[in-house]
Structure 1
Amino acid sequence: MGTPHTYRVIVRGTFDGLSEASRTRLLAEVEEHGMAAMRFTEEGSLAYDRTLKHFSYRLVVESDAEDGDEMAGALAEERVEAALAALGHGYKGLKSKVTDLDTMKINRKGR
């Protein structure tokens, strides 16, 4: 096993085939899932708007650095799929954007 790295992953997708119960629940909770609520967490933070078209999930994933960004993205997508399935929300077209926090460069401005 290699070195574990911490990744921030944004998984984007499209709601698909939402039941009336899903639509009602999502609309009732829309204020809790706006821009201000977006956080990177292990369980994931769901964000969407009233159109109920697109959504994004922000997650923190620990993965072996040797497995690369692709594995971190796959792990995040699995978590999102499980979370949406547990809530009964249909979706399609998941895509991930991965940032390895352990290799990220930080440019500090001079004083």
Structure 2
Amino acid sequence: GEGGEVSVSLDESGGDGSAGYRLTVADDGPGIPAEWCARVFEPFFTSRREGTGLGLAITRRLVTDVGGRIVLESEEGRGTSVHVILGAADPVESAHQKTVRGAQSIDSGEA
């Protein structure tokens, strides 16, 4: 099929004015049928021949494990947006903490 556009944005707000971050991945594709929207986070649910149907299920599990939320917005014929909303955390002090810029690797010093 024809290629569409995917955009990724990060806002320093929980989306409702609360402290945190909102990562949004949006496309201008055909959208998701309304009857599928409630199922897209179920393990192994897929509408395609390729893929496992685990991507959004795993993402939701990881996001909720750290106290976040994931929200799906889709309109047939107009595209889909997935918002990952994470609360701001207090900075963590670590003896192994290092700021990384560019394509660097870090060694935590732990075996």
- The TM-score range, normalised by the shorter chain, is under 0.3
Q: When you count helix as a share of all residues, which structure comes out higher?
A: 1
TM-score normalized by the length of structure 1: 0.28
Larger Rg: 1 or 2? 2
Higher relative contact order (CA 8 A, sep 6+): 1
Q: When you count strand as a share of all residues, which structure comes out higher?
A: 1
TM-score normalized by the length of structure 2: 0.28
